[in-house]
Amino acid sequence: MTDEELTSKLSDRDESALGELESKYGNYCMSVAMNILRNRSDAEETANDAYFAAWNSIGQNRPDDLKTYMAALTRNAALDNWRRAHAQKRGSGHVELLLEELSDVAASNAPLEKLGDMIAFRETFNEFLGKLKPEQRRIFLLRYWYMDKIEEISEKLGISENKVKVSLHRTRNKLKKLLEKEGLL
């Protein structure tokens, strides 16, 4: 079944679409959730939350890319579940480490107050990603979108952990300079 057919079934509230959605994107959603939560049962619950979110939202939205849409729904649900689970536990976990790595780039004295600022930020960020070399972009997205560990990225791409770390450091610095130049930091 094509994504367009699946989206239409979801829009029409055809319950068989949920089974099709899980069949087509279940492993992918589990992978996204596992990278964040590192717990199979939590990841399964999160994937189910993502299917439910798709069921509730696709009538209003018709995503251009269903796979990417499901990844975003799963990622958001996983981060929400992670935050709930760790609300009382502030340790040196995986997600805290990622947030700490990006803190210099994301730090700002003035919050983004206007929709225009948010749109400018998104456009600048997307343009920045588009200008990166493919390997740099993949490393950056594996780390900060999919939340892979350094070792996992190294293994997936067949490069040294040191190369991954250096690439991430340089990419964060480039992003910070660009955001400062554009007045978004």
**Domain limits of the chain?**
3-85, 94-181
- The pLDDT confidence band at residue 83, using thresholds 50, 70 and 90, is confident
At the second CATH level, the architecture of 3-85 is Orthogonal Bundle (1.10)
106-128 pLDDT per residue, tens: 554 444 445 556 666 777 888 88
Q: Taking a C-beta distance cutoff of 8 angstroms, is the pair 139, 168 a contact?
A: yes
The residue that leads in pLDDT, 8 or 83, is 8
Rounded mean pLDDT of 11-31? 93
Q: H or E stretch including 182? A: none
Asked if pLDDT for residue 101 goes beyond 80, the answer is no
DSSP 36-103: HH--HHHHHHHHHHHHHHHHHHTTT---S-HHHHHHHHHHHHHHHHHHHHTSS---S-HHHHHHHHHH
> Residue 110: its pLDDT value, please?
46
Which tokens sit at 23?
């069949």
Q: Which amino acid is at 120?
A: A
Rounded mean pLDDT of 16-41? 92
Rounded mean pLDDT of 124-136? 89
> Residue 54: its pLDDT value, please?
92
141-163 pLDDT per residue, tens: 999 888 888 999 999 999 999 99
Query: Which CATH number does 94-181 carry?
Result: 1.10.10.10
- The pLDDT confidence band at residue 82, using thresholds 50, 70 and 90, is confident
